[in-house]
Chains A and B, each alone.
Chain A
């Protein structure tokens, strides 16, 4: 037990890094689902965001010989966000304009996105020398993982045994951006007129349409921007989590599905995504820190985030509290003349 307690700060640290990837993915999906679109293409979008950011950084930094840190940052962020939005646009065009089935389109986007990500990931690896993990974008990687050492040291000195500085402030800036996005999204949903309109589109599309809300515009914007945010999760994964390289192990796909699970876990509330993501991180990594587990029981421990999500899903449907339910028209197509 003592062993476990002493490793608690490290567990929390890795949980927060892990959680940020799925938090970004989930936040984008919450925005999308609030408009009534159930986008199962999140894993694909995260792949696309990840590879676009990596390619942009690689070509600026390694091929172009650029050294400006700010440009590295902007190039990677913009590329990841734009490419993910483009993926969201494919999904939006098919489901909103061409009225295809959302589940099927989303799954196809996942296939397509993982193909794009891994294809260009492998091609880039080849370009970089051939061995997996040979892609290096040191400057961009530094920018994405940089933190104020002074602040960390100061807080660590104040709290010698826990190491609060290391626990709270030793992450790249995207970790805090993710939290900020969550809070901003809460504000948007609950305190702004457009947020209300968006929610009404997701709850009852026909009523929103009758009230004069431009349903198509809201759906398109929410889905594309949501995809952009999810894509940042992929970018965070390549830049911070694995240190600015590419691996085709399918990890992003697994994380993408975990992000979808997190959306359910949070019952579509952005603020809950913050602690929910970290909790998923703790659950996911707990097997690594609990002493005396053999490999097979580790596998059972990795089930925990999914079991937790299932439990929430069950509890939510037992209790039938209206504020915990999914958006009422989630997954349903909308065609004005079919009312």
Chain B
């Protein structure tokens, strides 16, 4: 009479999981997602998916073998673009890391990057050639960091003081920054009427304020010059952030607040101050990325300077569990998918938006795989637990 009802699937939290197993599950997820994407691609273009993946590889690293490129240290332009995009995405993600670690949902990276871009572009346009070049760089970097930090402090302050919802607050700050950028673009447009700023050059030809030409004006432009700086700066930021989060008192406080705000308060951590301080740091790194976008990548400014990467970086930072070095790995994967899918689009004459579909599918799978890392799933109606 007393019928015992057993669930078909039982879920329990894992106590812990070995690192190799966790990475094994993630790898399976990526492979599964690539298979699903392959099915989608096949149903869309009716092409051999393997050929399609070969085409993606070509899109990211060009036809020259990647090994040759690495060993001879002479990258093709495509590979440089790849490195450049990985660096920018990783840098924004690193900026988000401290905020996320304290469970402060900074969705506002897009805006923090853009105000950084505005600050850099302002100095490049108005002061290039009018002040000493080293001073110009100091001003560009300094104001970009300051602008990003301010854009981060505002929501941090409102959260600290009045507990305003930071997710929604930072989201709104993005759109204010986008409109502010549109405003600046229409002020600085060159030539007039084009509604775009165009490549920022002093007196129409000299590249003052371009980071690759900081010491000398090479002709023609060498990709390596600009992008090598990116690699150096972003690596430095990554090392700094890793140490800051793991080895300093500040980093420890951030971790405590992230785990339990109450514990933090009882142990005497000033939580409101921490919100403001950490958001200043988070915004500052995003602002610095804005400087790099203007000075090293685009050499111009537009409302799509950040190009949605402020949002993508949120996913990167989360998947990397706030570890700056894992962020590089995930950025590599995402940029590869993006470049690769664009190449498929040209090779097989389909819309380039296929890249967003594929990225979406892969991310869904990686996100879902975290469940199998954190929880144990048992199938079947066995009576006794083992």
Contact = CB atoms under 8 A, between A and B. Distances in A.
Interface of A: 38, 40, 90, 94, 98-101, 103-105, 107-116, 118-119, 122-123, 126, 248, 257, 260-261, 264, 295-297, 299-300, 302-303, 306-307, 309-310, 313-314, 316-318, 326, 331, 335, 337-338
A257 to B, nearest CB: 7
B364 A296 contact: no
Interface stretch (B123-131, B159-167, B253-261): B159-167
Report the 5 A-B pairs with minimum CB-CB distance, sorted nearest first: A112-B360, A115-B356, A122-B351, A98-B371, A115-B357
Contact of A112 (B175, B182, B357, B371): B357
Given A103-B107, A300-B179, A314 B164 contact: yes
Given A306-B175, A314-B158, A115 B164 contact: no
Interface string B141-176: 000000000000000001000111101110111111
Contact of B360 (A40, A101, A111, A310): A111
7 contacts: A99-B371, A257-B175, A296-B186, A297-B183, A299-B179, A317-B162, A335-B13
A107 B171 CA distance: 12
Contacts of A318: 162
A317 B163 contact: yes
A314 to B, nearest CB: 6
B169 A296 contact: no
Where chain B touches its partner, the secondary structure class is helix
A295 B186 contact: yes
Interface string B29-57: 00000000000000000000000000000
Interface of B: 12-13, 105, 107, 158, 162-165, 167-169, 171-176, 179-180, 182-183, 186-187, 195, 308, 311-312, 314-315, 318-319, 350-351, 353-361, 363-364, 367-368, 370-371, 374-375
Given A38-B167, A261-B171, A104 B318 contact: yes
Contacts of B12: 337
Contacts of B368: 94, 98, 100
B120 to A, nearest CB: 19
A313 B165 contact: yes
B314 A115 contact: no
A103 B314 contact: yes
Contact of A119 (B172, B175, B314, B354): B354
A108 B367 contact: yes
B167 A302 contact: no
B183 A306 contact: no
Nearest to B168: A264
Contacts of B164: 313-314, 316-317
B360 A118 contact: no
A112 B195 CA distance: 30
A115 B162 contact: no
Contact of A123 (B173, B174, B350): B350
B171 A303 contact: no
Contact of A90 (B318, B319, B351, B364): B364
B351 A299 contact: no
A107 B314 contact: yes
Given A105-B367, A331-B167, 4 more contacts: A98-B370, A105-B364, A119-B350, A310-B172
A156 B223 CA distance: 65
